[in-house]
Amino acid sequence: MALDVHRRGLQRKGQKNSLKEDDILEQIITPEHPIDPLQLLGERNFKEPREIPKEEIGTPIQEFFRDATVFITGGTGFMGKILIEKLLRACPHIKHLYLLVRLKKGKSPHERIDDIFQDRLFKRLKYEVPKFYHKVSVMSGNIEQPLFGLSEEDKQKFAEEVNIIFHGAATVRFDEKLKTAIGINVLGTRELIKLAKTVKNLKVLMHVSTAYAFCPHLQVEEKLYDMPVNYEKIIEKAKSMSEDELEYETASIIQPWPNTYTFTKALAECLLQQESQGIPIGVFRPSVIISTYREPVRGWIDNVYGPIGIIVGVGTGILHVYEGNLDSNSADMVPVDLVVNGLICSAKDTADKFKNSQKIEGEIPIYIYSSGTQNPITWRKIVDYSEKHGMDWPTIRAVWYYSLTVTENKHFYTILQFFLHVLPGYILDFFAQLLGKKPMLTKIYQKMNNVRDILQYFRIRVWTFKNNNTQSLWDNLSEKDKELFFFDMSNLSWEYFLQAMCLGLRVYLVNDDIYTIPAARKKWQRTTTTTTITTTNYKFKKNQEIISCQLY
């Protein structure tokens, strides 16, 4: 828990570890700041361990996973970790989980899994279900190899034991090289289909795609769209051309898709449609996935992809100017724990559709999971809620004051970027070198510019996602399953979410121990007294605004 990190922080400072919890937190919880950070994160709400009798009947979703052996690709990733945690904690009679893991950075697959379970994400699982580890095994392999490079023994286990498959492995980099993206996102999916066809008792295979797979369409429904190119021809082209040749032609090959990620995810769906005959398969398409909403802890995240990187940049005082409009576009984001709950429930729904022949022949059930249709939120609301709730949790790692200028005017943006990013970056890096420290800011601002360019396509467009299948799935759940596997976006409170996200980013992502909160608050007070920032609307060809953003 965060309290454990606090105690380790005190030890590093040479202080004794004999302080009681109340003594530790009394510096943080004050009349001016009455919120308990551990309560806000949900780390005080763990249930007492309970052995569930085998004969105890669970909810329909829980019973679907009774005695099931589940195979998961992408289990070491952001969403995969939440899926593993949820299945082990919420499905007491699940039989086993097999995780596909590859050798990486000199660490064996087993070492990597051991490292994953050290993540604070699994604190709740370890407390509530201490006897879980025997249910998890590794299958050593690589998604880019034929049949994942599984050993003969693992292939036999796969065929004889696996009942449910979750395919979440993918490269999610927007600027990934086309050959690599095809190898992982498309050919990897094909190899999984080959393996799935060997399974003797397969209930369902759920493929995790993205709501933006067919982003050239501004209105996206839960169906497969035709592509202007045949996936087989693209695969052959990728095999026949060198990486440099393919890189040179990438823009023309993927047109009208904006990047290799969305393009190859669309190809993968087309491949599934053509090559998965006889397999009970479904496709789950989430939009932009962000921090946890309420479980296993609130505000947990382990990456800075997409909008999270922008929020962290502002919260640490690094990002001060951004090109865009806070009111024009909604931020179609979905919390990762709700995404996983929807995915788990869609697995049973897909299996039922195939079992009862409820689906149209030749069509794959598709579930879009997004917020824009049922519960939209603008970037302005995100900023407002962050200002309201985030100033209790400033980070000691902040390098400058908290401010953000948002403008639609390219010329004004260029001027502000020079004075607020480029010039300070060079100056501070120069002094860092004089002090013998590693210069970082210039490189960070260069990366931010790259991210801005990559996200340009998505900043200037608005999509409408039709998610009738997902809404129907929710409506048909039992009341107990709705409580246990909550994913109803229409009943999500964005203010409740952002209340914890600001602290969660500080604790789980920035790795800023909670014991620094008092010092960080003092630093924040010094900053705000020496720097006056006001919220101002004014005109410079187009409306611009300067907003004070206290995101941590």
Highest mean pLDDT among 148-162, 297-311, 397-411: 148-162
Of the listed ranges 63-67, 266-270, 401-405, 530-534, the least confidently predicted one is 530-534
**C-alpha pair distances (Å), 120 with each of 124, 268, 441, 519:** 8, 33, 29, 24
Dig out the tokens for 481 from the structure: 């399953």
User: Whose CA is closest to 505, among 314, 301, 310?
Assistant: 301
Strands 366-369 and 464-465: unpaired
CA–CA distance, 121 with 300 (Å, rounded to integer): 7
Question: What is the arithmetic mean of pLDDT over 59-65?
Answer: 98
Question: What is the arithmetic mean of pLDDT over 189-217?
Answer: 97
Dig out the tokens for 15 from the structure: 């202080």
DSSP symbols for 246-300? HHHHHHHHHTTSSSHHHHHHHHHHHHHHHH-TTS-EEEEEE-EEES-SSSSSTT-
Question: What is the arithmetic mean of pLDDT over 44-49?
Answer: 91
CA–CA distance, 235 with 454 (Å, rounded to integer): 24
Question: What is the arithmetic mean of pLDDT over 514-542?
Answer: 59
Non-local (6+) Cβ contacts of 504 within 8 A are 41, 291, 292, 297, 298, 299, 300, 301
| Eight-state DSSP code of residue 219 | E
User: Whose CA is closest to 6, among 24, 26, 23?
Assistant: 24
**Does residue 305 surpass a pLDDT of 80?**
no
pLDDT tier for residue 361 given thresholds of 50, 70 and 90: low
CA–CA distance, 441 with 318 (Å, rounded to integer): 8
Amino acid at 511: N
**Does residue 105 surpass a pLDDT of 90?**
no
- What mean pLDDT is reported for the chain? 87
Predicted local distance difference test score (pLDDT) of residue 360: 61
Q: Let me know: does 374 contact 492? Beta carbons within 8 Å.
A: no
Q: Between these two residues, 402 and 9, which has the higher pLDDT value?
A: 402
Question: What is the arithmetic mean of pLDDT over 55-64?
Answer: 96
**C-alpha pair distances (Å), 537 with each of 66, 403, 543, 547:** 58, 14, 7, 9
Predicted local distance difference test score (pLDDT) of residue 1: 44
Dig out the tokens for 108 from the structure: 């064996």
Q: Between these two residues, 340 and 329, which has the higher pLDDT value?
A: 340
Of the listed ranges 17-26, 391-400, 491-500, 519-528, the least confidently predicted one is 17-26
Predicted local distance difference test score (pLDDT) of residue 323: 85
CA–CA distance, 242 with 231 (Å, rounded to integer): 18
Backbone phi and psi for residue 15, each to the nearest 5 degrees, phi listed first: -95, 155
CA–CA distance, 536 with 145 (Å, rounded to integer): 56
Of the listed ranges 50-54, 263-267, 279-283, 445-449, the least confidently predicted one is 445-449
**C-alpha pair distances (Å), 104 with each of 18, 99, 109, 110, 321:** 39, 15, 8, 11, 37
pLDDT tier for residue 550 given thresholds of 50, 70 and 90: very low
Task: State the DSSP H helix or E strand holding residue 458, giving kind and residue range, or none if neither.
Answer: helix 441-459
**C-alpha pair distances (Å), 38 with each of 7, 20, 430:** 14, 15, 40
Q: Chain centroid to CA 78: how far?
A: 5
Residues 10-45 have pLDDT tens digits of 444 444 444 556 667 888 888 888 889 989 999 888
Amino acid at 90: A
What residue has token string 């920032």? 533
Question: What is the arithmetic mean of pLDDT over 261-289?
Answer: 96
**Does residue 531 surpass a pLDDT of 50?**
no
How much is the pTM? 0.90
User: Whose CA is closest to 252, among 178, 188, 185?
Assistant: 178
pLDDT tier for residue 535 given thresholds of 50, 70 and 90: very low
Sign of CA dihedral 47, 52, 57, 58: positive
Predicted local distance difference test score (pLDDT) of residue 23: 67
**Does residue 444 surpass a pLDDT of 90?**
no
Residues 382-417 have pLDDT tens digits of 888 887 887 788 888 887 777 788 888 889 989 999
Q: How many CB atoms lie within 10 A of CB 339?
A: 23
User: Whose CA is closest to 339, among 492, 462, 472?
Assistant: 492
Question: Could you tell me the end-to-end alpha-carbon distance of the chain, in angstroms, rounded to an integer?
Answer: 19
CA–CA distance, 309 with 322 (Å, rounded to integer): 12
Question: What is the arithmetic mean of pLDDT over 425-442?
Answer: 88
Amino acid at 546: I
Which phi-psi region, left, alpha or beta, contains residue 538 (left: φ > 0; alpha: ψ -120 to 50)? beta
Sign of CA dihedral 78, 83, 84, 90: positive
Q: Between these two residues, 262 and 511, which has the higher pLDDT value?
A: 262
Question: What is the arithmetic mean of pLDDT over 104-129?
Answer: 91
The percentage of residues in the chain with a pLDDT greater than 90, rounded to a whole number, is 58
Question: What is the arithmetic mean of pLDDT over 158-182?
Answer: 96
**Does residue 91 surpass a pLDDT of 60?**
yes
The percentage of residues in the chain with a pLDDT greater than 70, rounded to a whole number, is 90
CA–CA distance, 14 with 19 (Å, rounded to integer): 13
**Ordered alpha helix ranges (H), 76-183:** 78-90, 109-116, 123-128, 152-161, 178-181
Predicted local distance difference test score (pLDDT) of residue 541: 35
Dig out the tokens for 228 from the structure: 């202007």
Q: Chain centroid to CA 388: how far?
A: 24
User: Whose CA is closest to 550, among 393, 437, 420, 422?
Assistant: 393
